[in-house]
Chain A
Amino acid sequence: MRWGTASADDRMVEIAGDPDGGELLEISMGPHHPSTHGVFRMNVQLEGERVMRLKPVFGYLHRNHEQIAEKVSYLASIPYTDRLDYLCSMTNNWAYALSVEKLAGIAVPERAEYVRVIVAELTRLQNHASLIGFLMQDMGASGTPLMYAFREREKILDLFEQLSGARMMCNYMRFGGVRVDPSADWLNGVRALTGAFPRFLNEFEKLLMENEILISRTQGVGVLSRELAVNAGITGPMLRASGVNYDVRKVDGYGIYERFQFRVPLGEHGDVYDRYMMRVLEMRESVKILEQALAGIPGGPVMDPKARLRGLRPKAGEAYGRIESPKGELGFFLISDGTTNPYRYRVRPPSLINLTVLEDMCLGRSVADIVVTLGSVDIVLGEVDR
C-alpha cells in the first residue's frame, strides 16, 4: 500500500525498494521503545503486517568496557563486570574471577565455592523470574505478573544487600574466593527463601501456564531449529529449548557443580513457549541446587588468608573461563603479558550472540510477534554493547 509521497514531513516513512519490485514499509522500532529491553533498535521491513527483513542496530550503550579493562588492574575490573549484565552481577563476577584464577593458578577454598554456587543460583532465580514478568508485560498483561515476580526478586536483592552491601552491583567475588563470609543469619535467610520459593512458583504457574491467550501467543512463534541454533553458537535456555543438551554446568563442571544432583530441561519445538517453560523449569532445578548447597556448606575461610589483594601479576599467557550465566555461556578471554593490566580482555556476551538469529526467527511473522520473540531471547543491553 502506498503511503503517499515521501515529503520532508514524512521522514519516518521510507518506502524501501524491494528487489522483486514491490514496496515494503520500513519502520524503526526503538531505540526509544517500551519493549526493547533497553536502548536497542530494529529496522524492520514489513509487507502489510508480515516481516520481510529485520536488522538489529545496537551500540547505543557501548561504554568501552574492554578498553577500560586494559588500562586498569585486574582487581579494578571486577566492579566493571558487575555492570555488564546488570541484572546478574554475581555471575558476571564469577566468570571473570574464574578466568583470572585459571590464568594465575589460584585455588579457591571449599566454603567459597559453596557460597559462589549459592549466590549464582539465587541470581538465576531472580533473573528468570523477572524475565518471565517482562515477557508478560510485553504481551500486554499490564504488569501484573511482573509485579509478582518483582515481589520475589526484592527478597533476593535484600539478601544480596545484607551480604555484599549493594543490591545489584555486588562486587562480591575476588580472585581466590569471595569478599565477605556469610553469617549464619544470612544462610538462614536463604533457607527461608528457598523454602518459600516453590509456593511462589506454583502461584505464578497457575496464573500463566494454562492461560489460553499466552499459549496462543507463544506456541509456534519464533521457532529456532536445532541446526541453526548449534551453527549460530546459541547457548543457554534458548539452545536447550531447541532440544540440544548443552549446559556448561554439566559439560565443564566448573566450581563444585559435579557434587549436585540436578536435571537439565530440554524442549522440543524451539518456540517462545518452550523458552519460557525452560526458564520456569530451570528455576525449580535451581531451588534444588540451593537446597543441596545449603545442606552441605562447610566451615572454613572464604579466602586464602595469605592472598594479596592488590598487585596481581599473572604470568604471561592466556586463559578462557566460562560459566552458565542465566542468559547463556558467559566467557572471559584474558591474555596477560606479565604486568598488572591485561594485554587483551574479551567478553563473550551471550545476549549478543543469541541476538544474531533474531531475523531468522521473525521472518514471515507479524509485528506483534517480534516483540514477543525479542523478549524470549532475554537480552540485556549492558552485555550486548559492553
Chain B
Amino acid sequence: MLGEGIVKGLGETARNFFGSFVGKERLTTVQFPEERLIQPEATRVFPFLIYDTDDMEKGLRCVACKICEVECPPKCITIEKSTEKKPDYAGKPQFFPAKFDIDVSVCMSCQICVEVCPFEAIKMDTAFELSTDDRFGGLLWQKDRLAKPNAYYHTIHPTEAAAVDEELAEKKAKAEAKPAAPAANTGAAAVR
C-alpha cells in the first residue's frame, strides 16, 4: 500500500531518536577534548628516535646506516653521518647521525622506516595534537626533537617495547659471548 515504506522509515528514525537518550549505542559521539578515545596500541602517527639510558647523545641507538632514508617512500628523512664513532649498546664503536631531519609535512606515516631499521632505533609515536603556526621550520623536526627515551616508548607501546627490549637483550648476550672466542684465536695466532 502506498505510504507503508514511509511509515516504516519514520518508525526506524523515531527508534533512533528515543534510543539516543537511553543508550550509548545510539549516540556515538565522543566530545573531544573533554572526552577522548583510547588509542589502540598499534596507532602510528610520526616517527621518533629512541635512546637508551638518560643521555641522548650517548644512548642514541641510531647508527646512521641510512637504510630508512633510502626506503622512505616520500623521501622525508635526511641523515648526515658523523665523522667520529661512539660505542653502541653492545660496546661496539658505531657512527651516529650528526643530523637527522624528518620533514613532517611530507611524511605519510607509512611505518616503512620502522620496519626496515635493523637497530630498533626508530619507532612510531602516537601524539597527534601537533599544530603549529610555523609552516616551514616548525614542521622540519630535528634530532633533538625526535629523540625520546626508551621509557617513553614503553608508555606508548608497552607490548612492542617489551618485545624489543627482549630481542636487544638477546643480541647483547650473544655479542658478549662471542669476543671470548676471537680473543683466544688472536692470542693463539700471535703465539704461533
Which residues on A are within 8 Å of B, measured CB to CB?
A: 72-73, 75-80, 82, 144, 148, 151, 154, 158, 161-166, 169, 171, 179-180, 203, 206-215, 309-310
Are B42 and A180 closer than 8 Å at their CB atoms?
A: yes
Q: How far is the CB of A301 from chain B (nearest CB, A)?
A: 16
B32 to chain A, nearest CB (A): 14
Q: Which residues of A contact B90 (CB under 8 A)?
A: none
Minimum C-beta distance from A54 to chain B (A): 31
Nearest-CB residue, chain B, relative to A207: B12
**Smallest CB gap from A162: residue in B:** B40
What CA separation (Å) do A165 and B116 show in the bound complex? 17
Q: Scoring B residues 61 to 80 as 1 if CB is less than 8 Å from chain A, else 0, what string do you get?
A: 00000010001110000000
- The reply to whether B12 and A165 form a contact with Cβ atoms under 8 Å apart is no
16 A-B residue pairs with CB within 8 Å: A75-B112, A76-B71, A76-B73, A79-B110, A144-B13, A161-B40, A166-B44, A169-B110, A171-B112, A179-B115, A180-B42, A210-B8, A211-B6, A214-B5, A309-B116, A310-B71
Q: A72-B73, A76-B72, A207-B12 are in contact. Are A161 and B42 (CB under 8 A)?
A: yes
A-B pairs, 6 with minimum CB distance: A210-B5, A79-B110, A76-B73, A165-B44, A162-B40, A165-B42
Cα-based distance from A76 to B115 in the complex (angstroms) = 12
In the complex, the answer to whether A203 meets B110 with C-beta atoms within 8 Å is no
List of B residues within 8 angstroms of A310 by Cβ: 67, 71, 116
Interface of A is mostly: helix
Q: Contacts A207-B13, A310-B67, A310-B71: A76 and B112 contacting too (C-beta < 8 A)?
A: yes
Question: If the complex has contacts A164-B42, A212-B3, A309-B116, are A77 and B9 also in contact, measured as CB distance less than 8 A?
Answer: no
Contact A77 B8 (CB under 8 A): no
The smallest C-beta distance from B10 to any residue of chain A, in angstroms, reads 9
Contact with A along B1-43 (1 / 0, CB 8 A): 0111110110111001000000000001000000000011111
**Which residue of A is nearest B13, CB measured?**
A144
CB within 8 Å for A77 and B73 given contacts A161-B42, A212-B5: yes
B residues contacting A by CB (< 8 A) are 2-6, 8-9, 11-13, 16, 28, 39-44, 67, 71-73, 108-112, 115-116, 124
Who on chain B is nearest to A144 by CB? B13
Chain A residues with Cβ below 8 Å from B9 are 206-208, 211
B124 near A79: Cβ-Cβ < 8 Å: no
Give bound CA distance, A80 to B112, whole Å: 12
- A207 contacts which chain B residues (CB < 8 A)? 8-9, 12-13
Q: Choose from B12, B44, B116 the contact partner of A206 (Cβ within 8 Å).
A: B12
B6 contacts which chain A residues (CB < 8 A)?
Answer: 211-213
Please tell me if the beta carbons of B73 and A80 are within 8 angstroms of each other in the complex.
Answer: yes
CB neighbours of A82 from chain B (8 A) = 110
- What's the Cα separation between A342 and B125 when bound, in Å? 32
Identify which of B2, B16, B112, B116 contacts A212 (C-beta below 8 A).
B2
What's the least CB distance linking B111 to chain A, in Å?
A: 6
| Given known contacts A76-B71, A209-B5, A169 and B108 CB-to-CB distance under 8 angstroms | yes
Closest to B25 in A: A151
Task: Give Cα distance in the complex from A10 to B16, angstroms.
Answer: 47
B108 touches A73 (CB 8 A): no
Whether B40 and A206, one on each chain, are in contact in the complex, defined by CB atoms closer than 8 angstroms, is no
Report the Cα distance A206→B41, complex, angstroms: 37
What is the CA–CA distance of A148 and B40 in the complex, to the nearest angstrom? 24
Write out the residue numbers on chain A whose beta carbons fall within 8 Å of the beta carbon of B2. Answer: 212
Residues of A within 8 A of B110 (CB): 78-79, 82, 169, 171
Decide: B5 and A215 in contact? CB cutoff 8 A.
yes
| Residue contact A161 to B43, C-beta cutoff 8 Å | yes
Per the bound structure, the CA–CA distance linking A158 and B116 in Å amounts to 26
